[in-house]
Amino acid sequence: MTGQSNWDRARSYQAAIAERGAVITDADYLQPAETLLDLYGEDIRARAFTTQDPLRGEQMLRPDFTVPIVQQHMAFGAEPARYTYFGKVFRKQEIDEARPSEFVQVGFEVFDGSDVAAADAEVFATFAEILADVPVTPVTGDIGILRAAVMGLKTTERRRAALMRHLWRPRRFKALLDRFGGITPVPAARAALLAEADPMANLPSVLGLRSESEIALRIEALRDDAAADPISNMERDLLDALLSVRETAPNAMTLLGDIAVDLPSISTAVDGMSARLDALSARGIDVETLPFEAAYGRTSMEYYDGFVFGFSAAADLNIPPVATGGRYDALTTVLGAGKGVPAVGGVIRPDLVAIAEAAQ
């Protein structure tokens, strides 16, 4: 497709996806900021362009399509359903000015709970076929295995919740794990506060955003945490071993199976990976050489909670992955007001395909 414009590429990719049964859809350029803030917190402001509408309130230029497409489906769709779309998305670039702040995406979303492994394989294989003649390398991962590992830790519910919130921030996650494991000491100021018989007695007048009762609850939570047993060395070592898995899919399965012996909470997720590999093989994917990285997607795929994948060009091009995707069941529950459906999808960036092809 050398010589095609990004828009022509996008149309051809969308047509290929539509031929596989996907319904063509679209999403508004402006999205309610409240929804995105609820999902991502204030961090989204560093990545999204915002504006104010006199009637609709704060709005954001869509940073992606997935959220509005999920909202549309949860409000009006029925399962099973398949959608494809293309258009511009908008992202602030505060570090690398060479990266565009607006670019075209082509997407494919599948809402089908009849066979999640088959749906995962369908999306991956569709992208693999579209990119068959492009010099890219695939990689896969599974955030669901890591989530299951954290939820299986023998520690307090509050600690597990804290670790889950920071799965996407590896440094913060590691710092919390070390603290909960007793590797790093409690900060001196916190230790002194907790040692007081009545920590509230010497506090200044409450001037911040927290009320006195909220501060008291926070102190109680800190005391409960200080009294909790540390996460064991064995469990921390198992998590480290899990995050270090970077192999071909069959070899990764062997390593994960060994870890599951001592960390049985991941067994169901590992079984799901096995079923997905069978489904990928049935669609003609060479799973014997398919790369798997247990930590893949942790820094850039915040709403994914299961299978994740990407297709990357040569490292010396220094560009983001040409295509990415994954499973986001939990997102449908949040946007569906508690009613969730199994969902998986992904996007291709035609501009990055063009760069990869030009470098051949």
What are the distances in angstroms from CA 305 to CA 97, 102, 284? 31, 26, 25
| 298 marked ligand binding residue | yes
Place of tokens 């319904």: 23
| 66 marked ligand binding residue | yes
| 90 marked ligand binding residue | no
> What is the distance between the alpha carbons of residues 320 and 355, in angstroms, rounded to a whole number?
11
> What is the distance between the alpha carbons of residues 96 and 109, in angstroms, rounded to a whole number?
30
- Of 236, 262, 253, which is closest to residue 294 (Cα–Cα)? 253
Q: Which amino acid is at 339?
A: K
> What is the distance between the alpha carbons of residues 159 and 354, in angstroms, rounded to a whole number?
45
Strand 30-32 relative to strand 23-24: parallel, antiparallel, unpaired?
Answer: unpaired
Structure tokens at 251: 């070899």
| 190 marked ligand binding residue | no
| 105 marked ligand binding residue | yes
| 65 marked ligand binding residue | yes
| 165 marked ligand binding residue | no
| 14 marked ligand binding residue | no
Structure tokens at 65: 């399509």
What angle, rounded to 10 degrees, do the helices at 157-165 and 143-151 form?
A: 160
| 296 marked ligand binding residue | no
Chain centroid to CA 101: how far?
21
Residues in binding site for L-histidine: 64-66, 91, 105, 109, 298, 303-304
